[in-house]
Amino acid sequence: MSKVLCVLYDDPVDGYPKSYPRNDLPKLKNYPNGQTMPTPSAIDFEPGVLLGCVSGELGLRKFLEDRGHSLVVTSDKDGANSAFDRELADAEIVISQPFWPAYLTEERIAKAPNLKLAITAGIGSDHVDLQAAMEGNITVAEVTFCNSISVSEHVLMMILSLVRNYIPSYQQVVAGGWNIADCVTRSYDLEGMQVGTVAAGRIGLAVLRRLKPFDVGLHYTDRHRLPVETERELNLTYHPSVEDMVRVCDVVTINCPLHPQTENLFDEAMIGRMKRGAFLVNTARGKICNRDAVARALESGQLAGYAGDVWFPQPAPKDHPWRSMSHHGMTPHISGSSLSAQTRYAAGTREILECWFDGRPIRDEYLIVAGGRLAGAGAHSYSPGDATKGSDEAARFRG
C-alpha cells in the first residue's frame, strides 16, 4: 500500500465554497490537436467544484482509501519544519500543483528513499529537480494539455489589458475618478502591432490562433518549426532565435517551459534588444525573466508593461519587486487553475495514479522523466538539469 502526499493551496479565506456562480461546465470532447481528455475509470467529484485547495483534495481521497492507500494533504510546504518535509520521509508518491509548488529539490529527494512518482497536477514540472529525479529513477508525470487553453485565454486577457491600459482605468473608476486623460495616455490599439511568442507548443500555438482575428503581425520562435501549412494559415513569421524575434515585436508572450536553456532568458541584455515600450507577458515561469531586470526596464520605459501570473519562488515573498513595480498586470499563479482546468487535471491525476497502481503504462504524452531519463513530453520540451535553485526563499512568504 502506498502513501500519497499531496500539496495543495490553502482553502478560500472564508472557507470551502458552499455554492458557485455557474451550474455547469461546457463538455469538451478532445483537445485541439485531437488528444483525448483524461480517461480515469471514474471520478468522485462534481465537475466545476474547487478541487485544487486542501479541502478539495483533487477529489482523490475516496479512490485512494478504497484501494487501501493513505492520503496526506497539506498546504504547509516550505521551510525545514514544514508538514511536507516531515511527511516526505516515507511517501511513495508526491502530487503538487505548479500554482503552489512543492519544490522537490535534490536535498528533499535525498531524504525521501521511498519516493517513486512525482505527479504535477497541471503542466510544468520545473519545481522538481529533474536531474535528481533522473538520477534517483523517480518517474515525473504531468497532465499535458489540461490547462494549455486556459493559459492561452489568460495571455490574451493580459495582452489586451496592458496594451489598452485596462487596470489603471478600472482603478480610476473604483477610486471615484473620471480623468480620461490619465487613463488614455498609456492606451493603444493592438491592431497592426507585431506580436511574437517564445515557443509555439500547445499554449503558444493556441495564443497565435486566438490573436489572428485581431489583425496583428504574428511571429514565433521555437526549437522545432511548425508545419508549413500552419505557418501559412496563420501568416506566421518564424525567427530562428529569441534575439531575432524580440527586435521586431511590440508584444512578446513567453510560452516555453522552464529548464536550464530558458532560465533567465529575459535578462537585461535580452530586454535591451526589445523595442522601446514593448509589452512583455509571461505566463510560463517566473524564473525565465530576470526579476530585477524586469523591474528596472519598467522604471526606465524600456518596457511599457509587464504581466503574467508566474513568479519565483511561489508564493512570492511580500517584498517581491513584481508586486510593486510600475505598469504591471500581475496576478497570483491562477491562469491554469480555473474551475474548468481543475476538473481536467484532477481527472488526469487520477488517470496517472490508476495506471501506476494497475501496472499499466502512463500515457507517453504525460511523461517528463521515466527510466532515468527525460521521456515523452519531457524529452521533447525540456533539457536535462535543475531549475529549483533558490526555491527555499518561498518560506519567507509566511514568515
What is the footprint of ligand NDP within residues 145-184 (CB under 6 A)? 147-148, 151
Known catalytic membership, residue 380: no
Binding residue for ligand NDP, selected from 52, 201, 315, 376, defined by CB under 6 A: 201
The answer to whether 285 contacts ligand NDP (rule: CB under 6 A) is yes
Q: Of the residues 239, 327, 333, 350, which is catalytic?
A: 333
Give the x-and-dash track for 206-225 against ligand NDP (CB under 6 A): ---------------xxxx-
| 309 is a contact residue toward ligand NDP (CB under 6 A) | yes
Q: Does the active-site annotation cover 290?
A: no
To the nearest whole angstrom, how small is the minimum distance from the Cβ of residue 58 to ligand NDP? 16
Would you call 205 exposed, middle or buried from its count of C-beta atoms within 10 A (0-12, 13-18, 19+)? Answer: buried
Q: According to CB under 6 A, which one of 235, 261, 300, 324 is a site residue for ligand NDP?
A: 261
Q: Quick check: 58 binds ligand NDP (CB under 6 A)?
A: no
Question: Does 280 interact with ligand NDP (rule: CB under 6 A)?
Answer: no
Output the smallest distance, CB 284 to ligand NDP, in A.
4
Catalytic residue among 69, 202, 259, 285: 285
* Minimal distance, residue 254 CB to ligand NDP, in Å: 8
284 binds ligand NDP (CB under 6 A): yes
Tell me which of 199, 278, 304, 394 binds ligand NDP, using CB under 6 A.
199
Q: Of 97, 314, 327, 328, which is the active-site residue?
A: 314
Distance CA 48, CA 26 (A): 10
CA–CA separation, 329 and 350 (whole Å): 34
Catalytic site includes residue 314 = yes
Binding site for ligand NDP (CB under 6 A): 122-124, 147-148, 151, 198-204, 221-224, 255-258, 261-262, 283-285, 309-310, 333, 335-336, 377, 380-381
* Active site residues per annotation: 147, 285, 314, 333
